[in-house]
Amino acid sequence: MLAFHTSACECCRCIPPLTDPVASPFPPLSRGGVGKPPPFIPPLVTSHPHAPRKVASAPPSNSPPVLLLALETSCDETSAAIARGPTDGTAVGGPTDGSAVGGPTDGSAVGGVELLSNVVASQDDLHAQFGGIVPEVASRRHIEMILPVIREAMDRASVTWDDLQGIAVTNGPGLIGSLVVGLATAKGIAHARDLPLVGIHHLEAHIYAAAVGQPLPFPLLALIASGGHSHLVLMRDHGRYEVLGRTRDDAPGEAFDKGARLLGLPYPGGPQLAALADSFPGNVEPMPRAHLPDSRDFSFSGVKAHLARLVRGKDFEDTERARLAAAYQESIALALTQRVIQVADEVGGPPIFVVGGVARNARLRELLASRASQIGLRVNFPDPTLCTDNAAMVAAAGAYKLALAGPDSPHLDCSANLPLESWPTKNES
């Protein structure tokens, strides 16, 4: 059974599944013709399907915050969020000196983007039987869940289709079949309601998870650590990205998942390995890890190969398995921490933002915060519910991008390998 999660409340909690998760998006037929469409289907604004269309214009920079519907379907979570922003005046010269770091993050603060609802339908139970994500299965489940999830997000935020002022959607990178579902839905709604559409890169969305409830300070250094990505990105302003380092092989979340499989842990492996590692009571000696001199990149294939050699053909008692998990986790956390501290020092010590699914790891949070405080660096982590894939982060990025760069073309496409690029200005776009 799918679990729904919401981060609009004080904590992440499960709610009962919707009663009609596979309801048809088409209105029911009756003797007299087409019946009244369900309430979660946006009625068309134009009177004729072939009426001329224009690209909707973005709100001017001095306009009030816009109310956005955001969609995220890049992998195996179906998510929709409603948010309002930007609320910090950044688009018209608001504070960007870092003074807002550490402010309220409950969505009630005047700053950043105000989150009204965030609904996530997880597919973990669906893919557990396969030991990993099956792309075709994931995309089919997105088709079943996308409309009910949108409806739930709108109900939680108490908004109607007439209230919406824009649509934001992840258009890459990710699983192409999954991306198509979200983008096609977003484009259909944008067309039907004559709303501006903005495509969001999955990595920039993770960074903007930190903008929920508070403005981003600039410059900042973002560590994006997830199951598919490991990037160090310097941001000097909104939508201005400079990639300073990345993984040369496995991403840290991928390394956690593969290590969990080597230790015989169930799917999803990363959280299982972290929980086992945290249960080990003794001293932890990290495993050997790659050293890349004169580089800002990461490498996790070496520590994974070392663990594979240790466990090959052996059975372990629970205590020894926990010790191996702890040593493995320590190696990954140390590699990330040391590289982030090195690069932050090289670029002048900006605030550090750690985002992505691996940012939930308690040992990484503890180690990085300790090392940073020793040399006077500030480290920020989003709320754990906003670290894994969700539409709230897409909404935050979309609010700023719409205000500062304007809408994308209605012919926006998606890509499994979309590069991270800086935003064009409104004049350039």
Q: In this predicted model, what pLDDT tens digit does every residue of 82-128 receive, in sequence order?
A: 999 998 764 433 333 433 333 333 333 347 999 999 999 999 989 99
Worst-scoring range by mean pLDDT, 54-58, 317-321, 332-336?
Answer: 54-58
Give the per-residue pLDDT at 89.
Answer: 62
- Helices 176-193 and 135-157 meet at what angle, rounded to 10? 40
At 427, the pLDDT band (50, 70, 90 cuts) reads low
At 22, the pLDDT band (50, 70, 90 cuts) reads very low
Spatial contact of 202 and 74, defined as CB atoms under 8 Å apart: yes
pLDDT over 60 at 43, yes or no: no
Give the per-residue pLDDT at 49.
Answer: 34
pLDDT tens digits, 259-302 = 999 999 999 999 999 999 999 999 999 999 888 989 999 999 99
pLDDT over 90 at 18, yes or no: no
Distance CA(264)–CA(244), nearest Å, equals 35
At 177, the pLDDT band (50, 70, 90 cuts) reads very high
**Share of residues in the chain with pLDDT > 90 (%):** 73
pTM of the model: 0.83
Distance CA(66)–CA(168), nearest Å, equals 11
Mean of pLDDT over the chain: 84
Give the per-residue pLDDT at 429.
Answer: 53
Q: Which domains does the chain have, with CATH numbers?
A: 4-26+53-212+388-405 (3.30.420.40), 220-381 (3.30.420.40)
pLDDT over 50 at 39, yes or no: no
Joined together, the tokens standing for residue 56 give 């909707």
Region 419-423 average pLDDT: 96
On the CB side of 128, CA atoms within 13 Å amount to 14
DSSP character string of 176-231: HHHHHHHHHHHHHHHHHHT--EEEEEHHHHHHHGGGBSSPPPSSEEEEEESSS-EE
Give the per-residue pLDDT at 293.
Answer: 87
**Share of residues in the chain with pLDDT > 70 (%):** 79
Q: Is 33 exposed, middle or buried (0-12, 13-18, 19+ CB in 10 A)?
A: exposed
CA distances, 304 to each of 276, 312, 324 (Å): 17, 12, 12
pLDDT over 80 at 218, yes or no: yes
At 425, the pLDDT band (50, 70, 90 cuts) reads confident
CA distances, 310 to each of 155, 250, 290, 313, 318 (Å): 51, 19, 17, 9, 15
pLDDT over 50 at 396, yes or no: yes
Give the per-residue pLDDT at 313.
Answer: 87
Residue 268: is the preceding peptide bond cis (ω within 30°)? yes
pLDDT tens digits, 130-173 = 988 999 999 999 999 999 999 999 999 999 999 999 999 999 99
Region 235-253 average pLDDT: 96
pLDDT over 60 at 232, yes or no: yes
